[in-house]
Amino acid sequence: MTKSIYITSAEPYSGKSVIVLGLVAMLLGRAQKIGYLKPIIPFGPEEQPDTHIETVLAHFQLPQTYRDTYVFTRQGAMQQIKDQHQGDMIDAIIARFKALEATCDFTVVEGSDFEGQGTAFEFETNRLIAKNLNSPVLLLVSGVGKTTAEIVQDALNFRQAYQVQDIQVLAVVVNRVQADQAADVQQLLRAQLSENILIAVVPADPGLENPTVRDIFEKLDGRLLFGSEHLGNQVDNFVTGAMQVPNFLNYLKENVLIVTPGDRGDIVISSLQANQSASYPRVAGIILTAGAIPEEPVMRLIEGLQNVVPILAVGSGTFETTNQVAAVKARITADNTKKIRLAIETFNRYIDIAALDKMLVTYHSNVMTPHMFQYQLTQWAKRERKTIVLPEGNDDRILQASARLIAQQLVNIILLGDPAEIAASVKRLGIDLDLNKVTVIPPASSPHYEDYVQTLYELRKSKNVTLEMARDLMTDVSYFGTMMVYKGHADGMVSGAVHTTQHTIRPALQFIKTKPGISTVSSVFFMCLADRVSVFGDCAVNPDPTAEELAEIAISSADNSLRFGIEPRVAMLSYSSGTSGSGADVEKVRRATQLVRDRRPDIKVEGPIQYDAAVDPVVGSQKMPGSEVAGKASVLIFPDLNTGNNTYKAVQRETGALAIGPMLQGLNKPVNDLSRGCTVDDVFNTVIITAIQSQDSPASL
């Protein structure tokens, strides 16, 4: 059983960071604590911090300092060998590795970067380290600028170099391959490598390989004039703006960076106008050269525009600046979450994760950590891809979340709204949302509109709803979206980014209604704390539930906890524990607890119990010794909305916990409500849990 893997390449710029990010994300879905080690780094942190180390530590919040991630700088390692202290160097690396291994479930070791002279030194040193750590290796080969035959030969030679040293090769990954080469490379390698070696071929992706405007600007040492909020724009092309405007416009391509002398106000203005026009590609940014900037009237015009692309002024000439731009390499930085997500999505798409997981035989913790939970959510959603309708189709957060959901192939998306407005918003936001992969429906002109109107009328005519009222209601996106779920044209609905909770759930209560045996619609939040995921209910719907309603909330919450892979141990919270207190509020909780025990003896439940006794093992054992729940509760049921809503928000704000939800429970079909202050992550996560709710089988099975 291995607890580590060594990732190494044979050349620079092979895309090693993509593999590392994807692998760490995969492992955090299976193990509680992951260690990360890069034994040899190019430069010391005081000279030039390693961007990739910073990204891995920050994004995954690994419990390591920067200093714990490396042992030697490149120069230091070369000096050790020059001084014939190679053994001491290896001993130091092993010591650091073993220290990590002792405290982590799994350790990812990354080989050196091949920057600078002496690549033969790095090749041999990576092989030496992997052998001495007794780590199986993942070999990474670049396909950039190579024929298919050259790629295959490089991969076979690389594998052979490790095989002769008796180093176990788990996988050979060929990265940055042209799309038309991928199938041939895969077939030829499969024919020549043993079956126990995983083979993956990853096509080149401009989103990963091309730099951002920020990457380029940081290399040019210039002055940013406008557009700081769009420095994350991807640069796929660049063009020199030195010709007349009509000719210049013919050279614009998607995500283009324009390099032009600073006194060419005509180029600057036409570039900004082209970016606003639906007839021209998106402009990523503008660089003004030769130490000049446009004249005052032009600058004033730009200052009055909205969503101006980044504009940088540099002192170098146009030719020199263009050469500098061409030399900039893409980086994945800690603040570029879009590129990090794309890297992880690319890994998940092209690496056979199930096969790799079987090879690694990773530890499976009994604790459901936040990383595990979020990873499992995406895997469960993929298992049975569902269709979710989002009524607020023109909201920026909805569109940004939709782009992520579609890119990861987690759900099918239906957006309600005007197609032209949604397309314009997608362009304005600069997001990669392929509208051909989503369904956009304007409710009033939908072919289902009349059928939906008639259905609503039949369902609600006993409540004095006329046909004209039904016709009017069905133009409302909440009613239309809910009817799609009712009719089976969508599996679930997520709304509330713009609308109130009442507006979102009223239609569901009117005609989707509650499940048999359930009379109370309630909610839960999945609270992703530092080391565990807890279920909080009900923090969003019922102001002051009765004992019977509280029991139903507890039962629904326990069932959903189990459905989402969390063993339910239910704490019925109050201001006293056990028999220590009395009063109407305590008696309500005590009665609700007994109702849960009577109706569902399979559920572990304790109450009344205070929050500290529910979650702290020491306090729990003191206040309620012998309890199956005290000190280890995973489902916490609050006695009323005032307590629940304030507690979840306090925990969220004071601890930095991620609160996923609220997820409504008790309805026949899933409809979930967002907060009007929701983030893109909130939308993303809520859509996923809605999709899982609509699946036939529990996610935990």
Phi-psi region of 656 (alpha: psi -120 to 50; beta: other; left: phi over 0): left
Which is it for the CA torsion 633, 638, 643, 647, positive or negative?
A: positive
pLDDT at 362: 53
Contacts of 128 (CB under 8 A, 6+ apart): 86, 90
Domains and CATH numbers, the chain: 4-208+340-360 (3.40.50.300), 213-327 (3.40.1390.20), 370-512 (3.40.50.10950), 522-666 (3.40.50.10750)
Q: What is the pLDDT of residues 605-631, one digit of tens each?
A: 999 999 999 999 999 999 999 899 999
pLDDT at 29: 85
Q: Say how far apart CA 344 and CA 408 lie, in whole Å.
A: 9
Least Cα distance to 174 among 149, 211, 210 occurs for: 149
Q: How many helices (H) and strands (E) does the chain have?
A: 28, 24
Show the CA angle centred on residue 343, arms to residues 340 and 347, nearest 5°. 145
Contacts 24+ apart (CB under 8 A), 583-586: 585/639
Q: Say how far apart CA 131 and CA 109 lie, in whole Å.
A: 12
Contacts of 428 (CB under 8 A, 6+ apart): 307
Quote the pTM value.
0.74
The length of the chain in residues reads: 701
Q: What is the pLDDT of residues 24-81, one digit of tens each?
A: 999 998 888 999 999 999 888 888 889 999 999 999 999 899 999 999 998 898 898 8
pLDDT at 701: 37
- Dihedrals phi, psi of 558, to nearest 5 degrees: -65, -45
Q: Is 13 exposed, middle or buried (0-12, 13-18, 19+ CB in 10 A)?
A: middle
pLDDT at 117: 57
Q: Say how far apart CA 522 and CA 89 lie, in whole Å.
A: 60
Segments in the chain below pLDDT 70: 1, 115-119, 361-367, 372, 696-701
Least Cα distance to 377 among 407, 342, 408, 347 occurs for: 408
Contacts of 102 (CB under 8 A, 6+ apart): none
C-alpha distances in angstroms, 653 versus 424, 529, 646? 35, 11, 11
pLDDT at 134: 84
In 371-476, at which residue ranges do the beta strands (DSSP E only) sit?
A: 387-390, 412-416, 439-441
pLDDT at 700: 45
Contacts 24+ apart (CB under 8 A), 165-169: 165/127, 165/131, 166/131, 167/127, 167/130, 167/131, 167/136, 167/137, 168/136, 168/137, 169/136, 169/137, 169/139, 169/197
